[in-house]
Amino acid sequence: MDVNDAADDGWGMTAEQQPTNRMERDTELMWGLRQSEPRRGPKPRLSRDAVVAAAVALADAEGLEAVSMQGVAKELGFTTMSLYRYVESKEDLLVLMNDAAMDTAPPGPCGGRDWRAGVEAWVHGVLTMYGRHPWAVYLPQNGPPSGPNGLRWMEAGLREIVRSGLDPRRSVQILTMLSTTLREMFRMNVDMERAARAAGATVADTMRGYAAGLGRAVTEEHFPTVARLLREDVLEDAPAEAHGRGPAGPTDELDFPVRRLLDGVEVYVERQRAAGDPDKAARRSGG
């Protein structure tokens, strides 16, 4: 049952021994389990961490698309194939980068405050983190977080949401909605800024162009509501407002929906409490 036969396999053997469902594998990968412990042969001059760090540095400097195995290897001053001693595939590398991008600590528990303030602090923290590693939002997400850093963030967010009185399962659902929204909103902002820069224009220009393009196609009869948006210049202003915080910080667009979500949670919890609490029996430390 023990999993320490890895000393032998290298690549000769087909990996048939591990039941390896994807998420379990990734988890082990990120937690550094699954590392062999060789004490023979030349000393490694590289390490998995060094590889990941180089990849992160490259992505920070030149964007995710610059992260090729060759690129990372060059960054390190080694050959492309040397990386494969430390990661099984580029996919693995991306998985590791994903967790590595979250290396800043999430906001800690500040007991006194409103749970909502806690959640909003978490949201702000996530945005700051994305600001540091904007490429992270382009990485494929293979599932819920499972690396050490990802879990830290999940723990921190969940900790605050649970304080609302929501049960854990539903808290996870709310957290998921929050996370995906943060991520996607941020991604869109990065996209737009990139597109704007590529066109030598501003984000506001880009949105104006978008609105203008729509204007040619949107008819009042077929798209009355969208037409109204155009009429009221909603599409042009909205993201422009998000300008206040440097590169890609969508908070104004985000704050409103987030607050509505939290409102909704609050209302729900109150109603449950008022109605005698049917599904909240597990509040105390069960077990």
Partner DNA sequence: GCGGGACAGTGTACGAGATAAACTGTGTAT
Partner DNA sequence: ATACACAGTTTATCTCGTACACTGTCCCGC
Using CB under 7 A as the criterion, which residues of the chain lie in contact with DNA when the complex forms?
7-8, 10-11, 13, 36, 38-46, 67-71, 78-82, 84-85, 89-91
**Cα dist from 142 to 72, 98, 119, 126, 230, whole Å:** 22, 10, 24, 19, 37
Q: Residue 248, Cα to own-chain centre: how many angstroms?
A: 15
Residue 217 or 275: the one with the smaller Cβ distance to a copy of itself is 217
Shortest Å, Cβ 72 to DNA: 8
Question: Quick one: tokens of 145?
Answer: 């977080």
Q: Is 68 left (phi over 0), alpha (psi -120 to 50) or beta?
A: beta
Shortest Å, Cβ 46 to DNA: 4
Q: Is 47 left (phi over 0), alpha (psi -120 to 50) or beta?
A: beta
Residue 81 or 117: the one with the smaller Cβ distance to a copy of itself is 117
Residue 49 or 237: the one with the smaller Cβ distance to a copy of itself is 237
Shortest Å, Cβ 78 to a copy of itself: 29
The three-class DSSP label of residue 154 is helix
Contact in structure between 92 and 230 (CB atoms under 8 Å) = no
Shortest Å, Cβ 103 to DNA: 22
Residue 38 or 109: the one with the smaller Cβ distance to DNA is 38
Contact of residue 257 among a copy of itself, DNA, none (CB under 5-8 Å per partner type): a copy of itself
Shortest Å, Cβ 273 to DNA: 52
Shortest Å, Cβ 134 to DNA: 19
Question: Quick one: tokens of 199?
Answer: 């066109």
Contact of residue 38 among a copy of itself, DNA, none (CB under 5-8 Å per partner type): DNA
Residue 32 or 144: the one with the smaller Cβ distance to DNA is 32
Contact of residue 108 among DNA, a copy of itself, none (CB under 5-8 Å per partner type): none
Contact of residue 267 among a copy of itself, DNA, none (CB under 5-8 Å per partner type): a copy of itself
Report which of 205, 64, 89, 69 is spatially closest to residue 139, judged by C-alpha positions.
64
Contact of residue 63 among DNA, a copy of itself, none (CB under 5-8 Å per partner type): none
Report which of 274, 267, 284, 279 is spatially closest to residue 164, judged by C-alpha positions.
267
Identify the burial level of 100 via C-beta atoms within 10 angstroms of its C-beta, where 0-12 means exposed, 13-18 middle and 19 or more buried: buried
Shortest Å, Cβ 271 to a copy of itself: 9
Contact of residue 268 among a copy of itself, DNA, none (CB under 5-8 Å per partner type): a copy of itself
140 phi/psi in degrees, rounded to 5: -65, 135
**Sign (positive or negative) of CA dihedral 270, 276, 279, 283:** positive
Contact of residue 223 among DNA, a copy of itself, none (CB under 5-8 Å per partner type): a copy of itself
User: What gap in Å lies between CA 77 and CA 251, rounded to an integer?
Assistant: 40
Instruction: Give the gyration radius of the chain's Cα atoms.
Output: 23
Residue 81 or 201: the one with the smaller Cβ distance to DNA is 81
